[in-house]
Copies of this chain bind each other. A is one copy, B any other.
Amino acid sequence: MTQLASSFARLFPLPRRQFQFPRWNPAIGTRSFSPSPVTFRAAQVSKKKNTIMATVNTKTGQVIDRTVLESMLRRRLFYTPSFEIYGGVSGLYDYGPPGCALINNIVDLWRKHFVLEEDMLEVDCTMLTPHEILKTSGHVEKFADWMCKDPKTGEIFRADHLVEEVLEARLKGDKEARGQKVVVDEEKEAKRKKKAKETKAVRLDDAVVKEYEETLAQIDNYDGPELEQIITKYDIRNPTTDGNLLPPVAFNLMFQTSIGPSSNMPGYLRPETAQGQFLNFQKLLDFNQQSMPFASASIGKSFRNEISPRAGLLRVREFLMAEIEHYVDPEGGKKHSRFQEMKDIELSLLSRDVQLSGSTQTTKMTIGKAIESGLVDNETLGYFLARIQLFLLKLGVDPAKLRFRQHMANEMAHYAADCWDAELQTSYGWIECVGCADRSAYDLTVHKNKTGAPLVVREPRVEPLKIEEWQVDLDKKKFGPRFKKDGKAVAAAVEALSQEFREKLALDLEQQGKIEVDVEGVGSGRVELDKELIKIEKRTRIENVREYTPNVIEPSFGIGRILYSTLEHVYWSREGDEARGVLSFPPAIAPTKVLIVPLSNHASFRPLSHRLMMKMRRMGISNRVDDSSASIGKRYARNDELGTPFGITVDFQSVKDDTFTLRDRDSTKQVRASEDEILQALKSLVEGDETWEDIRKRLPEFTGQEVD
């Protein structure tokens, strides 16, 4: 694996930048590899989720069969491979009507929960990004994976994936030869079988098995040269042809293009939305009338040119992100004014220390306690962790399958103060869906240094600051004639002298009437200055304005991953004559809120269905009429799979007295009441003011029809 992808983020597209620069040190320019116990243990944790298909249960206690679920999701057009009639392109998916509605609803909820609730400044920046910006941010140099090419077939492999695949196959062959039971990810196995030769049941030396296992446990931590060593040492080849491979080379994961008609403006599709927000910092601060703290936010597509995408919606080349950049004063402990509202919220935390001990045991703790104890770095970071949890729970995420995992020291960028991922448990393992990092002043600083733009906050000091310091005066009139063209260089060298050195020079000047200063490239490199030219004095300077670069707390959401994980969390199947899938979306995010089902094709039902539809549309409740000829049971079954939470049946009684039955998707219980009461109940359910239990208690139950 490369210096760019963290131990825990290897299987999936990275919504978070710090995943990509876990140990990147711009001072050194490259990471120093150290297969420390830390790295080893962290990698072991990560291995657990990647190699086997995790056994995860639905809320109703059934084991999730991912193949069945994914087939249902495709059949119902939640998503579909892009360009399928042209053969498709891996890592690219289109969202069909229910998937698209789901995304829109998640984004809408996100905007309400974050942007509107906290008056964040939402921006929409371009995806096309010139080279220079991503050079400054570090992406041009560091946003890469290692790949190997087969010179004969032209096939390209992601180096770490290849090593993993081959060694796992050998270990499996060894187990077979030893007559042990082999647990495999069926999907992965099917793919492997399709292209590779049959696994050979070959028994390996015990020592080799141990070596392979250790290598696999550390697979996330290898860089290119190390992967090359492993490939050579274990004679790893193209699994299909057995051909030798070329050594791994770095492959930048940004899609490159050229802006404008000449080829002199190379650009990329952005790998994240954050850079556009940073570049507009000064304008946003102005818009916010110079008031701190504040946050910007952005929702939009980003891109990552995966070498060989797999894992469905979790690892794609084009994905929707929602990112917040919350700017905070680095002084004063990064307090948050609304932290009190969050402090008693309990989170499942998986700390760095626990991971170091080789465990994945989470601790339940209020965010208030986590900050008191120093586990979470500061209030603002903690505030957002709690807010992220509240958001995910609104979507229907199962709290038992949500944890916050702290980044290991070697996962974080050197400048980051602390970083936590909200991870959701799925059949692919624990998936990081939201990153929340304290990135310190890094991003604004690099762009400020590169462009000279004042990406800083300037605020009047309540108490002016008095600074005692050694100041230097140069006699400009004599300075010019004396040094001529070297004047500027000499003056700059003097200006650059430290306070300490100035104090020493002041004494020398006092005692000897002259001093010597190093000035590179002028004369012998040492210049003499006498009392006529220079004066050095200790004075008091009053600073009325404080200037600082804000720190950034960055919650960053991978919407596609959240969507997929939520689908797994709300999925279950109804036991009955036949197993039927149900998606128990909360009403707020359900693609369609209400299904209107006329009992039959009878003409008298049509005006009633139409009236209900129009009334709900005006109330902003999305609904669909299904007047197909299928049985009521079949029509409801279809909508169980689409996750429609409520159904209204129009029957002969409705024609007589304008009463309707209202059905709850999850319990299949029904109530019957007047049109007004039913619509009022729906409004209340959809807006979250009442639950189905509330409605069932106050409206009469209906048991007349058999709809299953």
Q: Which residues of A are at the interface with B, using a C-beta cutoff of 8 A?
A: 76-77, 80, 82-86, 89-90, 92-97, 99-101, 103-104, 111, 116-117, 119, 121-130, 132-133, 147, 154, 156, 251, 255-262, 264-265, 269, 276, 279-280, 282-284, 286-287, 289, 301, 303, 305-308, 317-318, 447, 450-451, 453, 455, 617, 622, 624, 628
Contact = CB atoms under 8 A, between A and B. Distances in A.
A97 B121 contact: yes
Contacts of A284: 77, 96-97
Contact of A133 (B86, B96, B251, B305): B86
B103 A124 contact: yes
A256 B132 CA distance: 19
- Output the residue of A93, A280, A308, A617 with the most chain B CB within 10 A: A280
Given A283-B77, A317-B128, A154 B96 contact: no
A247 to B, nearest CB: 15
A262 B154 contact: yes
A121 B93 contact: no
Contact of A128 (B101, B255, B287): B255
Pick the most buried of A100, A289, A307, A308: most chain B CB atoms within 10 A of its CB: A100
A572 to B, nearest CB: 23
Contact residues of A: prevailing secondary structure: mixed
Contact of A77 (B82, B95, B133, B287): B287
Contacts of A628: 289
26 contacts: A77-B284, A77-B287, A83-B133, A85-B279, A85-B453, A86-B130, A89-B265, A92-B126, A93-B126, A94-B125, A96-B123, A96-B287, A97-B287, A101-B122, A126-B317, A128-B255, A147-B261, A154-B262, A156-B262, A251-B261, A255-B259, A256-B257, A259-B305, A260-B308, A269-B269, A301-B301
A123 B100 contact: yes
B251 A82 contact: no
A43 B283 CA distance: 42
Contacts of A103: 124
Contacts of A89: 128, 130, 259-260, 265
A264 B154 CA distance: 10
A83 B265 contact: no
How often does this chain occur in the complex, in copies?
A: 2
A305 to B, nearest CB: 7
Given A77-B287, A97-B122, A121-B97, A128 B92 contact: yes
A255 B269 CA distance: 10
B261 A156 contact: yes
Nearest to A101: B122
A300 to B, nearest CB: 8
A337 to B, nearest CB: 12
Contacts of A624: 119
Nearest to A614: B117
A316 to B, nearest CB: 9
Closest 8 pairs (CB-CB, A-B)? A85-B453, A95-B124, A94-B125, A97-B121, A85-B451, A255-B257, A156-B261, A100-B122
A628 B447 CA distance: 30
B154 A318 contact: no
A306 B260 CA distance: 6
Contacts of A308: 260-261
A614 to B, nearest CB: 10
Nearest to A448: B85
B280 A257 contact: no
A318 B308 CA distance: 28
Question: Among A83, A125, A307, A455, which residue has the most Cβ atoms of chain B within 10 A?
Answer: A83
A80 B280 contact: yes
Contacts of A260: 89-90, 156, 305-308
A46 to B, nearest CB: 24
Contact of A301 (B90, B100, B127, B279): B127
Contact of A447 (B85, B129, B156): B85
A283 B86 contact: no
